[in-house]
Each structure stands twice: as C-alpha cells, then as structure tokens.
Structure 1
Amino acid sequence: MRTAAALLSCLLAACASTGGAMQSTAERVDSMMADYTGRVPGAAVLVLRDGEPVVRKGYGLADLEQGTPVTPDTRFRLASVSKQFTAAAILLLVQDGSLSLDDPLRRWLPGLPQATDGITLHHLLSHTSGLVDYEDLLPPDVDGQVQDADVLGLLEGVDRLDFAPGSRYRYSNSGYVLLGLVVARASGRDFPTFLHERIFQPLGMGAVARVDGGPPVPHRAWGYSHSDGNWTRTDQSPTSATLGDGGIYASIDDLAKWNAALDDDRLLRADLRALAFIAHTTTDEADVDGYGYGWRLHASAHGPLQWHSGESIGFRNVLLRWPEQRLTVVVLSNRNDPEPYGLARRLAEAIEPGSEK
C-alpha cells in the first residue's frame, strides 16, 4: 500500500504531466501568456463563454518607450481580421438595396481594365476573383504609404488576371481593398465613415479605420519586431495604410460587442449573416476547409469553427468562434512573432476541453 507521501508525489507528477490540471482557469491562462508578460510587447486576451467574459485581460506593454501597459481597451491594428468588417459593410449595402453580390466589379470601379469584366462582388468577397496581388506591382523602392486609391491605380494598369473568376481560390488583399472602395462608391460616404456610422457607433465600439495622416488612434498599441535580442518599433510598412484589407484598429472589448452582433439581427438580418459563414469556396490551407465572406471555416472535432487571423508588420492577431459551443477566443498582440492561432486554440482548450482537436 502506498504511503500518503507517495500518493501526493504521484498526484503532483500527474498534475505536471497534464500541464497543471489542478490550476484554476486564470492560472492556466496566465501561464500560457508568460512570454507576453513584463516589459515586452504584449497581448490582450478575451475568452467569451455564452456571451460572458471568462478571460478579459491585458499582458505586457502597448508602448515600450512610454511603458504603457496593455489593457482590455488597448486598440491593435487588426490587419486581416478587418476583412470580416469589410464583408459586413458590403452585406449592409445589399440589405439597403444599394448593390447586389452579383454586381460586376466594373459597375462600381469602371476604370479597371477589360480583363476584370467577369469579376463580381461575390468573387472579391470569397477570394475567387483572380486579381493580381497589388503588392507584386509595387516598386521595390516605394516611398511612403500606399493608399487604397493607389492600389486601384496599380490594378487599372494591369489588363490580366491570374485565373478566370470563380475557377479557384487564392487569398487576395487586392480584392478587399477594392471592396472598401466599392463601399464608398455605393454609399456616398468614405469607408471609415461608413464603418463608424453603420457598425462601430451602433454597437458602441471604439474601433476606427485608421486614415494615414488622420487623427491619432486613442489607446493605441504600437507594433514591434524582435531582432538581435532587442525589440524595435516596426509599426508601419508601405502597405499598412490600406483600409479594406486590414486597416481597422480595435480592442478586445470592441470585438466582444462585434461578436454579440454576429448572433442576432441588430446589424444584419439572418439570411445575410448566414452568407458570411457559408463556404463559398474550398481551400487547401491548414484548418481552412472553406472561405465565407471575411471568415475562414473549419470543421473541427469540437464543432464548426469560424475564424480569421491578421498579420502585419509588428502585429499578430486571431479571432476564433465555435458557434455551437457559444465559445469565442480573441488574441491581439503587438509583436511580429509568433502567430497566435495555436495559442488561441490552447486557450479554448483551457475553457472547453476538446476544442483544440
């Protein structure tokens, strides 16, 4: 028969081998976020269960030079997590009757070349347009930041596509920049104003689409990269000013409000919300069985997963939703590495065992 001391030793060993099963949820999450803690670029973490925050916390610093800590109100550049808002803006205009998903792209941007004749708004939303990647068209010595109008100008000068519209999937920042311009043309308001008036303000969000040279973003995190043992501010690149593909700054508190609106009719009616989460095309990307409108879709073992990541110089972000489990995980970080998708899956597992599979 084992002694009490031996039983305790076995129990402690078992806890260690399972990552500390006796720890509280908060302790497990803090342990997972250890690399983001201290005087380093940090992260904000949100875990929602049944719409309520289980975890809502900042780690590390939003501004290394000023020593400003990350809080739940810190706004990060979302990068491609922004695409779900661009898609929602198009769907709002469909709901208004201002445009159709089957509209030819050239109806709204007639300066584009003849090669784009077969492209519809649906193709842009689902990354099946065949548009050339605008970043491949930039000169190597580009001076300053590229604006949405600059992207349009680049694409107007290229009378070819990479493939026939609708024939295959290829992730396209070009398509989502053009969608932001379509929103402006169809609504009569610039893209940041439309987002503010139709999405951010009605939901009580403090999110903003940052305009280069415009007002500063309140409670902003600055982006950093790690090199030679040091953190260097790397907040903007030449492509950091485009809007429709990645220009939104938001906090985890903002995204909690956004997440709630995805489950009811306060912004979009049910049939249009459903379109965002239908796999309009398949992909061969890891954990991406199909792409909706601004959302990656994956049939995980824990149930359907709706998610998107966002990476730009100095920022790495991810938002994951398991709608059947009413579970959402958000990780926003102001550093160049690592991508937080795996971390977010582990955070979900800490709340809902089985979600990492």
Structure 2
Amino acid sequence: MLKRALSFLFLGSVLSTGCSTPPETKPSPESCEALPSAVRERLEPFVTERMQQGHIPGLSLVILQGGQPVCVKGYGLANQETNRPMTPKTLVSIGSTTKSMTALALMQQVEAGTVDLEAPVTRYLPWFRTADGLQEQILVKHLLTHTSGLPMGYFWDGSLDDGALERRVRSLADVKLRFTPGQGEEYSNDGFAVAGLIVQTVAGKPFAQYLTESVFTPLGMSHTHLDLVSVEEPDLVAQGYAWTRGQLHPTSPPWSSAHVPAGAATFTSAEDVGRYFSGLLTRGQGPGGRVLSAEGVERMWQPLVIPTSGMGWVLSQQFGRRMVSHGGSTLNSGSMFLMFPSDNTAVAVLSNLKTKVSEEVALGVAAMLFGEEPAPASPSRDRAPSTFVPDTRVWQDYVGSFDTAVGPVSISVDEGRLWASFGMAQPAIRGELEAYGDNEFIERDEYGLLEGTKVSFQHEPDGDLLLLFDGQPIGQRVP
C-alpha cells in the first residue's frame, strides 16, 4: 500500500552520549529514492524521451520492489489545455487492464463455491445463446482466456443504465462464434462482459458495485471508479487525447456500461495501481482484508486452456523471468501492467493517449530494474500529408465488405474519398484511407485508432481480394 514518507523520532534513553538519535526518513515513493541509483538516474530521461517520441501528453508510473511501491511519479500534462500536470493521483481510463480485476472477482465466486470454471456459461445464464447454437460448449474458463470463440469487439453506444450489461450479453444471440470453444484464441471484450454478468448474477448486485466492495475497497483502492459519475474530484481526471494527422486532439468518446467488465470505464491512478499490485504480490492480502487465497492468486497466473493465457493475464518469459502482464486502451488513453511474481516486482504505466509506447516504457523500466538495456524505440509511424493525386476510378475495385482478424471492415467511396468502416466497434468507427499511391493508403480517423497503418489490397489468382495492413493479409472480401 502506498504511503508518504514518515519521519520517526526515537526518544529512547541516551545512556552513553546524552544526545538524541536523529530522525530516520523512509524514502518517499514519489521521489523514487529507494531505486538503485543507476536506475534512478536513467529513469526520467528514458521516460521523457519515449513520451516525446510517442507524442504522449501525460504519463504516470508506479514501480514495486519487495511487493511495495518504491517509485510513483507523474510526467507531463494531464490536460494540455489547462496546463494541469500528471501526478500519481491523476485518474486515467486504463481500459483492458481491468480484465484482471474482473477475473479476480470471478475467482472470488469460484472460491466461494458459487461458480465452477469447468461449467458451461448456461448454468449461470440459462437464457444465453449464440447464433450457431454452440453456447453450451462455452465454459466459464473460456471467457477468461479469450478461447470462447466470441469475436473481438468494442461497444461504446453511450448506454449507462443498469440493464446495459445484460442487454449486450443477450444480443450475442445474433453472433456466430469464430471457432469451436477451446479450439482457438481471439481477444474478446464480449467474453469478459459475459464473465462480469455471471459475477453480477451469482452475487445478486450490480457488477460495478460488487467490484468496488469486494476488490477495490479491501485492497485500499479508494480512488478507483467504474464510471465518471462517481468521481468526487473531476479535476483529478486526465483529459484523453488522440494523435492523428500529425496533431494531438483532446477527445471525449462515449462509453457504455455494457463493457465495464472488459475495461470500458475504469478510472484509476498510479497510486491505486500500486495498491492493486501490492495486494496481488502478497498473494491476496490487502489492508482491508483478503480478496483471494494465495493459491487462488497463483492459479490466476497459471495456464488454464492455452499456455500463454492465465485468468485475465498474459503469461510469458521476459528478462529470464516469469512475467504476467496485460495491456489496456480506450480510444483516448492506455495502460500497461507488468508483474514478476517470483521477484515481488511490478511496473505499471498509465497514459492519456492510446499508444503502444506505454508498453515500451513499462518494458524499458523493467529492463533497467533487472540490469538489462531497454529495447530500441519502435520506428515512428508518422507520415507527412500526401501530395499524390489519385485516380479515384481505381478505388471502385476495392469497394466491398471484408471479413478480417479485426472484425468486419467495409470499404466505400464517398465524396471523392476512400473510407474504411471498422465493425469491431459498435457504433462502427469510420476512417479515411489517405492515398499515397493507387494501392497505397494510410488510415486516418478522429481517434487515431489505426493511425499510421499502411493499407493496401492484393488480388489472388482465384479472384479473391485480400486486405493488407502493413503488408500483411488480415482478411478477404466477402463475395
């Protein structure tokens, strides 16, 4: 649990010198004094340089060693328009790192005996259906490991009422699975929506209320919220941004409580993430009580269906150590959580821009902690505005609907511009394909969703038309 430095004055007897003992000062996490000097000296230059390269307005960082925060800092601005700085207390919308919290909530029900990971979802939601009738094959464990077959999707229709979560899960009756449950892997926000509804149903209270009472409160995460309405100090909330067409734009996209278990609207601070990590690294014990048994926490970090996935966590090896991690993003913010359980070490980055640079910063900081060099920065995806004058007649050959790894994509021509509509988001996100050649485009949209992605098309001998992102086929046109 995060604490500010306390000075202790020892007033015991001074038998030999007649002098009192000088105060002892515990290093403040905000000063990062507890870090090795070699790391501390490199930390700020590294973070600020990567922020500049990635166009990140504001970023907060928390580092744990020995299971406790040793560095909690803010960099840059939480709001560029008001010049408000990012601090360890600034609230950032973290996105999908919430999934580990949802998995923890569901594991609480497993330990309480009200949920069985091997049971079908229909045991807890008897009405649950999918369009292909395979709902009985979806087990609870499939939801937590992205192996249910439910497609990737992002739901942001602005519905905030208490019934939004159940309505979303009921709407999956119109959705076909991408594969037989347990026989593949596809990242699925809807899978975690279903998991959250199971928690809500068996606990008999709204999911947000349950998570607050049973996870956040015992872990001391008093400034973590699942909606903006409950934030008592709105000035603490970071403004989110999008980077597109070479500029930063403040954005405030709507969100939906239908995807709260997947991370649609979790606002938290670096300080509270430090408390979350502390509770996990102490194997479930928080300042307000135990949230899960030590065995239950460890079980979340073990393969359940596939080798690379625990419950709400990605499993891998990094720096010669076991790493459990997860990234998160919304349309205007992001986060990255890294934990090294055997070393009682953790790193988290929260940023008010959706960018992969958050992950690079977190991994770079972890590398320094373990005496290794951070990986080089990824090449910039920035590209100057095009001067190419297209023959728009060529574009008609690309028009159509594509079934892709990122969901349905529709290509259309409107008012002399080529557009891509991404159906993975509901409502769909529409982006312009800026032409740099007859078959060379860069995606641009108001949220910078795929900013800088190179888009092209490829004809196959059998007549199929492939859609390529950065030179790699991601799907083909539907006949």
Both structures adopt the same fold (TM-score exceeding 0.5): yes
1:344 paired to 2:358:
no
2:147 counterpart residue number: 128
Secondary structure of 1:226 counterpart: strand
Alignment map for 1:206-355 (pairs within 5 Å): 206-211=222-227, 214-216=229-231, 218=233, 219-237=236-254, 242-246=259-263, 247-262=265-280, 263-265=282-284, 266-282=290-306, 290-354=308-372
Q: 1:31 aligns with which of 25, 29, 45?
A: 45
1:170 paired to 2:170:
no
Contact 1:345 1:355 in 2 (8 A): no
Contact 1:225 1:231 in 2 (8 A): yes
1:90 paired to 2:106:
yes
Counterpart amino acid of residue 312 in structure 1: T
Q: Distance in 2 between matches of 1:261 and 1:321?
A: 12
Counterpart amino acid of residue 27 in structure 1: E
25-34 or 193-202, which moves further after superposition? 25-34
Percent identity, please: 29
Larger fraction in strand: 2
Q: Against the structure 1 CA distance between its residues 33 and 301, is the aligned structure 2 distance closer, same or farther, given a 3 Å change threshold?
A: closer
Larger fraction in helix: 1
Q: Distance in 1 between matches of 2:197 and 2:225?
A: 13
Return the TM-score normalized by structure 1: 0.82
1:73 paired to 2:89:
yes
Contact 2:56 2:352 in 1 (8 A): no
> What CA deviation, in whole Å up to 9, does each residue of 1:154-183 have, x standing for no partner?
20233x321111112221111001111111
Counterpart amino acid of residue 28 in structure 1: R
**Higher RCO, Cα 8 Å, sep 6+:** 1
2:173 counterpart residue number: 156
2:438 counterpart residue number: none
Counterpart amino acid of residue 124 in structure 1: L
1:49 counterpart residue number: 65
Larger radius of gyration: 2
Q: How far off is 1:279 after superposition?
A: 1.6
1:118 counterpart residue number: 137
Q: Distance in 2 between matches of 1:143 and 1:302?
A: 43
Q: How far off is 1:228 after superposition?
A: 3.7
Counterpart amino acid of residue 295 in structure 2: D
Secondary structure of 1:183 counterpart: helix
Q: Against the structure 1 CA distance between its residues 269 and 356, is the aligned structure 2 distance closer, same or farther, given a 3 Å change threshold?
A: farther
Two-structure CA RMSD over aligned residues (Å): 2.6
Q: How far off is 1:149 after superposition?
A: 3.3
Counterpart amino acid of residue 58 in structure 2: G
Q: How far off is 1:261 after superposition?
A: 1.3
Q: 2:211 aligns with which of 190, 195, 218?
A: 195
171-180 or 343-352, which moves further after superposition? 343-352
Q: Which runs of 5+ in 1 are unaligned?
A: 1-21, 283-288
Q: How far off is 1:320 after superposition?
A: 0.6
Return the TM-score normalized by structure 2: 0.62
2:434 counterpart residue number: none
Q: How far off is 1:129 after superposition?
A: 0.8
Counterpart amino acid of residue 76 in structure 2: G
Q: How far off is 1:48 after superposition?
A: 1.2
Count how many residue pairs are aligned between Structure 1 and Structure 2: 322
Q: Which runs of 5+ in 2 are unaligned?
A: 1-35, 285-289, 376-479
Counterpart amino acid of residue 67 in structure 1: N
Q: Distance in 2 between matches of 1:252 and 1:49?
A: 15
Secondary structure of 2:103 counterpart: helix
Which 4+ stretches in 1 moved above 6 angstroms?
none
Contact 2:227 2:266 in 1 (8 A): no
Q: Distance in 1 between matches of 2:43 and 2:56?
A: 18
Q: How far off is 1:63 after superposition?
A: 2.1
Counterpart amino acid of residue 195 in structure 1: L
Q: Distance in 2 between matches of 1:254 and 1:32?
A: 24
Q: Distance in 1 between matches of 2:105 and 2:113?
A: 13
Q: Against the structure 1 CA distance between its residues 166 and 228, is the aligned structure 2 distance closer, same or farther, given a 3 Å change threshold?
A: closer
Q: How far off is 1:23 after superposition?
A: 7.6
Q: Distance in 2 between matches of 1:271 and 1:308?
A: 21
Q: Against the structure 1 CA distance between its residues 174 and 217, is the aligned structure 2 distance closer, same or farther, given a 3 Å change threshold?
A: farther
Q: Against the structure 1 CA distance between its residues 173 and 115, is the aligned structure 2 distance closer, same or farther, given a 3 Å change threshold?
A: same
Counterpart amino acid of residue 185 in structure 1: T
Contact 2:190 2:259 in 1 (8 A): no
Contact 1:104 1:118 in 2 (8 A): yes
1:11 counterpart residue number: none
Secondary structure of 1:291 counterpart: coil
1:180 counterpart residue number: 196
Q: Against the structure 1 CA distance between its residues 143 and 326, is the aligned structure 2 distance closer, same or farther, given a 3 Å change threshold?
A: closer
236-245 or 226-235, which moves further after superposition? 236-245
Secondary structure of 1:203 counterpart: coil
